[in-house]
């Protein structure tokens, strides 16, 4: 097993002024390659601190990833420390200079001395191009360890990793052939899911591992197969998924990078259908889920945020008797809202939400977290009551997810 | 200067399955106390790895924070390692047992053996209560270092830090008296802001430090004053803010924990005004900003997401001639939308957005990032054109922020 360490350099991370997301991303990608992260560290913009951590890593890791400390205003601290650490000098690297010059040329800007100096690299460095910025990436093979220094800007680091570093790692370490597939579920908690699939999990072949990746309302299952033959591994994983699917089919909304709002969008397009939403407690969040997806205008016509009862009455024509007798958080109210938005926007479907997101507004009969949702179609309205237990933002988020899932299962004719 | 190290324990963090946000939060709080974080580390759920990092920290730090590895299913690994490291045994702690028993009693659940064992603590530990969960917090004073072990669940850790650990740190280390104030700005970039205030920044008294904390669309300025007398420091900081304010007054929207949507809400309440929104490119995101704030129903009546041109015509009565001649992304269109939503929802103000969020839909005249926003009031409509340069989500977010800021400055009669 190849052992990796990840080091982040920068006072702004050390003092908590920025959240470091690079380290998580790198370790997640390494895990997919079968490279085991054994330590993550952050140190400040100090030559002494950087040298100390490099010396520590030398005796523990096979590969060390270093991000940050390469910007022009950082005085290129990392490069100087690396040159000293590897007992070499900084010299102008012609490939790096060509890249940084072109970077400025393309943008019609002149190359300043500070930016020119970004092409000064330790002579032992193998230069790796950065197409997204001016800070260079460097690969060293010293002391029996591979050292990779990358800029800290996340989109630059990710592009370098994907295009350059990961292929080099695979070829250098001859990492095992690995195949991954992520199965995405909604509407079921991690422990209940694990109960449902435990027999299947226990009978997985030895070369296939399962990981649970839970987040709010969604649990991802990742299957990882190790072996010699990629096509064989793909086939093995698909066989296992074919066995798994019947056990939890209703909960699976997609695979890999599928997002729930996108999946719902594809189903609507496939059914040549359109939708509009009437939101009370979600207050725009549900519409925002739809409209985050580029191209959603094909099926998402829009909606009404009826935050006040007056708007529920005047724009959505919810009757006084419903609002007075059952209240705004009721089955009758969301039914009326869903029907009304469907007619008003002339769509195939109308979705409505109304609930108590909290922290205030709860009562004994309708505590915080009580939510009703409804989906209206031609001649039919489906409703669901939710009892959520999170804070305001979590309750809003869970209501949107439940709404999207109700639409998904309705379109798949898979409602229990 | 007190030196701190922060250690996170857990395979799920090491392999990138979860993003660690605890470490940033802790270091940010320590920075406010004048305690300097010198190293952050993550190690796996392994006794050997945890012991190694504890030994390393012993020689570097005055205080070590350890989060994670305390849950009942973790087999209480951290506690066993700590007991060995401090050469003591695990024994039932009566205070911890009382707390965990009460925690279950209050929720009407029975105390299982696994949860009972959570009250087994190293005998050298000083027990610190956790009111939010069942994993205990422990404080050790060994080898001339303070060691604080906390659960990894963020809201539990934060409550323990705020209520218990920070006061104990202040009293133990006799940290200097420090006073902070955060000034929040919107509508101005970091470098332009720094140009505007550079004379003031250079003339700050030596005991007051300035930090820039930028995020998308918002730059926070944090003033930190060190000294002996809290009231004196507060007065010093307020004096400096009084000097600063005239230079950047229009950009300051609040202080400390103020959020822009909340500030706009307070202004609307103060002016006894109400608002409704007509969203095209923001697609619900702007409404969601308003409705994230508990109590917003006092001034936020709701809105219409007019994602399609049909809805702009039929619900918001934007004329065919505007849509055909100027298009949906135009000053005339947002003007019509803002006027219409104000009338329809019978509010004091109507806000509208329309633009090209991307990645598709741009043209030479109207590239991706072209956005129009409008604010309608009695007899007047204010419009602004934005030219944004981010990805789809950033463009949506920036449009919402610009809209909130336009309302804010209009209500303050501070439009340039």
| Range in A117-121, A260-264, B371-375 the model is least confident about | A117-121
For residue B377, give Cα distances in angstroms to B274, B326, B343, B349, B352. 10, 23, 10, 5, 12
* Contacts with B305 from chain A: Cβ below 8 Å: 277, 284, 287, 291, 302-305
Interfacial B residues in 175-234 facing A (CB < 8 Å): 211, 213
- A71 within 8 A of A102, measured Cβ to Cβ: no
Confidence band of A184 (pLDDT split at 50, 70, 90): very high
Question: Which one, of A416, A301, A394, A297, lies nearest residue A348 by Cα?
Answer: A301
- B416 falls within a domain: no
One domain for residues A331 and A383: yes
Other CB atoms within a 10 A radius of the CB of residue B343 amount to 14
Structural domain count, chain A: 3
One domain for residues B15 and B162: yes
Question: Which of A224, A255, A286 represents a domain boundary (last residue)?
Answer: A255
pLDDT at A2: 96
Residue of A nearest to B14 (CA): A37
Interfacial B residues in 259-298 facing A (CB < 8 Å): 277, 279, 282-292, 294-297
- For residue B92, the distance in angstroms to the closest alpha carbon of chain A comes to 29
* Contacts with B38 from chain A: Cβ below 8 Å: 14, 43-44, 49
Q: Which residue has the higher pLDDT, B112 or B122?
A: B122
**Predicted confidence (pLDDT) per residue in B147-202, tens digit:** 999 998 898 999 999 999 999 999 999 988 889 999 999 999 888 899 999 999 99
pLDDT over 80 (residue A273) = yes
- For residue B91, the distance in angstroms to the closest alpha carbon of chain A comes to 30
- A416 falls within a domain: no
pLDDT at A75: 57
* Contacts with A290 from chain B: Cβ below 8 Å: 283-284
pLDDT at A73: 59
One domain for residues B8 and B154: yes
Q: Give the integer Cα–Cα distance in Å for A1 and A394.
A: 39
**Predicted confidence (pLDDT) per residue in B59-85, tens digit:** 999 999 999 877 666 556 899 999 999
Radius of gyration from C-alpha coordinates of chain A? 27
Task: State the sign of the Cα–Cα–Cα–Cα dihedral A84, A85, A87, A93.
Answer: negative
pLDDT at B244: 98
Residue B157: which H helix or E strand, with range?
helix B154-160
First to last CA, chain A: 46
One domain for residues B205 and B334: no
Q: What is the CATH number of the domain that holds B188?
A: 3.30.70.2860
Q: Give the integer Cα–Cα distance in Å for B200 and B239.
A: 12
Interfacial A residues in 113-152 facing B (CB < 8 Å): none
- A213 falls within a domain: yes
**Predicted confidence (pLDDT) per residue in A353-373, tens digit:** 999 999 999 999 999 999 999
Q: What is the mean pLDDT of residues A242-270?
A: 97
Does A33 contact chain B (CB < 8 Å)?
no
| Range in A86-95, A109-118, B294-303 the model is least confident about | A109-118
Residue of B nearest to A393 (CA): B292
- B275 within 8 A of B303, measured Cβ to Cβ: no
One domain for residues A11 and A148: yes
Other CB atoms within a 10 A radius of the CB of residue B13 amount to 26
pLDDT over 80 (residue A20) = yes
Q: Give the integer Cα–Cα distance in Å for A279 and A262.
A: 19
Does B310 contact chain A (CB < 8 Å)?
yes
* Residue to substitute from A27, A154, A284, A287, interface B, most B β-carbons within 10 A: A284
H helices of B178-326, in order, are: 190-196, 198-202, 230-248, 260-270, 285-291, 309-314, 320-325
* Residue to substitute from B26, B288, B341, interface A, most A β-carbons within 10 A: B288
- A167 falls within a domain: yes
pLDDT over 80 (residue B260) = yes
- B285 within 8 A of B396, measured Cβ to Cβ: yes
- Output DSSP code: residue B415: -
* Contacts with A296 from chain B: Cβ below 8 Å: 283, 307
Output the six-digit token pair for B69.
């590895």
* Residue to substitute from B2, B17, B44, interface A, most A β-carbons within 10 A: B17
Q: Give the integer Cα–Cα distance in Å for B95 and B72.
A: 18
Adjacency order of strands within the sheet including B218-227: B208-215, B218-227, B177-186, B252-255
pLDDT at A108: 82
**Predicted confidence (pLDDT) per residue in B72-118, tens digit:** 665 568 999 999 999 999 999 999 999 989 988 888 888 888 788 88
pLDDT at B75: 57
- B199 within 8 A of B143, measured Cβ to Cβ: no
One domain for residues B248 and B314: no
* Residue to substitute from A194, A303, A314, A351, interface B, most B β-carbons within 10 A: A303
One domain for residues A37 and A112: yes
Residue of A nearest to B299 (CA): A308
One domain for residues B74 and B207: no
Question: Is beta strand A145-150 parallel, antiparallel or unpaired with respect to A137-142?
Answer: antiparallel
Per 3-state DSSP, what percentage of chain B is helix, strand, and coil (rounded to 5)?
Answer: 45, 25, 30
* Contacts with A295 from chain B: Cβ below 8 Å: 360
The count of C-alpha atoms lying within 13 angstroms of the C-alpha of B12, restricted to the half-sphere facing its C-beta, is 15
CB contact under 8 A, B14 and A37: yes
Does A390 contact chain B (CB < 8 Å)?
no
CB contact under 8 A, A29 and B16: yes
Cβ contacts of A12 within 8 Å, gap of 6 or more: A18
CB contact under 8 A, A305 and B283: no
Does A17 contact chain B (CB < 8 Å)?
yes
Does A305 contact chain B (CB < 8 Å)?
yes
| Range in A245-249, B151-155, B294-298 the model is least confident about | B151-155
- A349 falls within a domain: yes
Residue of B nearest to A36 (CA): B15
Does A324 contact chain B (CB < 8 Å)?
no
* Contacts with A20 from chain B: Cβ below 8 Å: 24
- For residue B72, the distance in angstroms to the closest alpha carbon of chain A comes to 15
**Predicted confidence (pLDDT) per residue in A300-357, tens digit:** 999 999 989 999 999 999 999 999 999 999 999 999 999 999 999 999 999 999 999 9
**Predicted confidence (pLDDT) per residue in B127-154, tens digit:** 999 988 888 899 999 999 999 999 988 9
pLDDT at B72: 64
CB contact under 8 A, A305 and B302: yes
Question: Which of B106, B138, B173 represents a domain boundary (last residue)?
Answer: B173
Q: Give the integer Cα–Cα distance in Å for B169 and B120.
A: 24
| Range in A70-74, B294-298, B356-360 the model is least confident about | A70-74
pLDDT at B71: 66
| 3-state SS record for B353-392 | EEECCCCCCCCCCCCCCEEEEEEEECCEEEEEEEECCCCH
- Output DSSP code: residue B163: I
- A134 within 8 A of A113, measured Cβ to Cβ: no
pLDDT at B73: 60
One domain for residues B303 and B321: yes
Residue of A nearest to B30 (CA): A15
Cβ contacts of B263 within 8 Å, gap of 6 or more: B253, B254, B408
Cβ contacts of A295 within 8 Å, gap of 6 or more: A265, B360
Q: Which domain holds residue A215?
A: 177-255
Output the six-digit token pair for A29.
């990608």
One domain for residues B310 and B401: yes
- A318 within 8 A of A291, measured Cβ to Cβ: no
- A84 falls within a domain: yes
Question: Which of A237, A255, A273 represents a domain boundary (last residue)?
Answer: A255
Q: Give the integer Cα–Cα distance in Å for B126 and B248.
A: 49
- B157 falls within a domain: yes
pLDDT over 90 (residue A133) = no
| 3-state SS record for chain A | CCEEEEEEECHHHHCCCCCCCHHHHHHHHHHHHCCEEEEEEEECCCHHHHHHHHHHHHCCCCEEEEECCCCHHHCCHHHHHHHHHCCCCEEECHHHHHHHHHHHHHCCCCCCHHHHHHHEEECCCEEECCCCCCCCEEEEEECCEEEEEECCCHHHHHHHHHHHHHHHHHHHHCCCEEEEEEEEEECCCHHHHHHHCHHHHHCCCCCEEEEEEEECCEEEEEEEEEECCHHHHHHHHHHHHHHHHHHHHHHEEEECCCCHHHHHHHHHHHCCCCEEEEECCCCCHHHHHHHCCCCHHHCEEEEEEECCHHHHHHCCCCCHHHHHHCCCCCHHHHHHHHHHHHHHHCCCEEEEEEECCCCCCCCCCCCCCEEEEEEEECCEEEEEEEECCCCHHHHHHHHHHHHHHHHHHHHCCCCC
**Predicted confidence (pLDDT) per residue in A29-68, tens digit:** 999 898 999 999 999 989 999 999 999 999 999 999 999 8
One domain for residues B166 and B187: no
- B137 falls within a domain: yes
pLDDT at A256: 93
CB contact under 8 A, B17 and A307: no
One domain for residues B282 and B388: yes
pLDDT at B109: 81
Interfacial B residues in 36-95 facing A (CB < 8 Å): 37-44, 49, 53, 56
* Contacts with A30 from chain B: Cβ below 8 Å: 16
Q: Give the integer Cα–Cα distance in Å for A184 and A214.
A: 10
CB contact under 8 A, B305 and A28: no
Question: Which one, of B224, B179, B67, lies nearest residue A17 by Cα?
Answer: B224
- Backbone φ and ψ for A350, nearest 5 degrees, come out as -130, 130
- Indicate the SS3 state at residue B11: helix
* Contacts with B32 from chain A: Cβ below 8 Å: none
- Indicate the SS3 state at residue B222: strand
- Output DSSP code: residue B141: E
């Amino acid at each position: 097993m190849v052992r990796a360490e990840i080091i982040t350099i920068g006072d702004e991370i050390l003092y908590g002024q920025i959240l470091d997301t690079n380290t998580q991303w790198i370790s997640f990608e390494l895990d997919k390659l079968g490279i085991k992260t054994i330590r993550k560290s952050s140190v400040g913009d100090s030559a002494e601190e950087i040298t100390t951590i490099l010396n520590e890593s030398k005796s523990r890791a096979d590969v060390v990833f270093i991000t940050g400390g390469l910007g022009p205003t950082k005085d290129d601290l990392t490069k100087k420390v690396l040159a000293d650490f590897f007992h070499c000098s900084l010299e102008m690297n012609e490939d790096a200079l060509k890249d940084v010059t072109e970077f400025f040329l393309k943008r019609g800007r002149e190359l300043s001395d500070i930016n020119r100096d970004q092409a000064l690299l330790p002579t032992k460095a193998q230069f790796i191009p950065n197409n997204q910025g001016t800070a260079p990436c460097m690969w060293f093979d010293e002391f029996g360890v591979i050292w990779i220094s990358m800029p800290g800007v996340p989109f630059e680091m990710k592009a370098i990793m994907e295009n350059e570093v990961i292929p080099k790692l695979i070829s250098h370490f001859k990492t095992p052939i690995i195949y991954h597939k992520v199965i995405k579920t909604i509407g079921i908690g991690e422990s209940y899911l694990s109960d449902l699939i435990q027999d299947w999990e226990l009978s997985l072949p030895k070369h296939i591992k399962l990981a649970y990746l839970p987040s709010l309302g969604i649990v991802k299952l990742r299957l990882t197969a190790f072996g010699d033959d990629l096509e064989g591994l793909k086939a093995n994983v698909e066989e296992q998924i074919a066995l798994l699917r019947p056990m939890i089919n209703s909960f699976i909304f997609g695979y890999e990078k599928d997002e729930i709002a996108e999946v719902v969008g594809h189903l609507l397009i496939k059914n040549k259908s359109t939708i509009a939403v009437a939101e009370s407690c979600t207050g725009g969040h549900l519409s925002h889920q739809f409209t985050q997806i580029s191209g959603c205008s094909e099926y998402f016509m829009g909606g009404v945020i009826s935050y006040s009862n007056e708007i529920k009455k005047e724009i959505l024509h919810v009757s006084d008797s419903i609002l007075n007798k059952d209240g705004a958080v009721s089955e009758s109210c969301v039914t009326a809202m869903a029907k009304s938005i469907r007619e008003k926007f002339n769509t195939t479907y109308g979705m409505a939400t109304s609930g108590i997101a909290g922290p205030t507004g709860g009562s004994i009969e309708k505590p915080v977290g009580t939510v009703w949702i409804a989906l209206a179609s031609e001649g039919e309205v489906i409703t669901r009551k939710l009892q959520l237990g999170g804070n305001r933002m979590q309750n809003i988020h869970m209501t949107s997810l439940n709404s999207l899932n109700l639409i998904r299962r309705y379109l798949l004719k898979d409602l229990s």
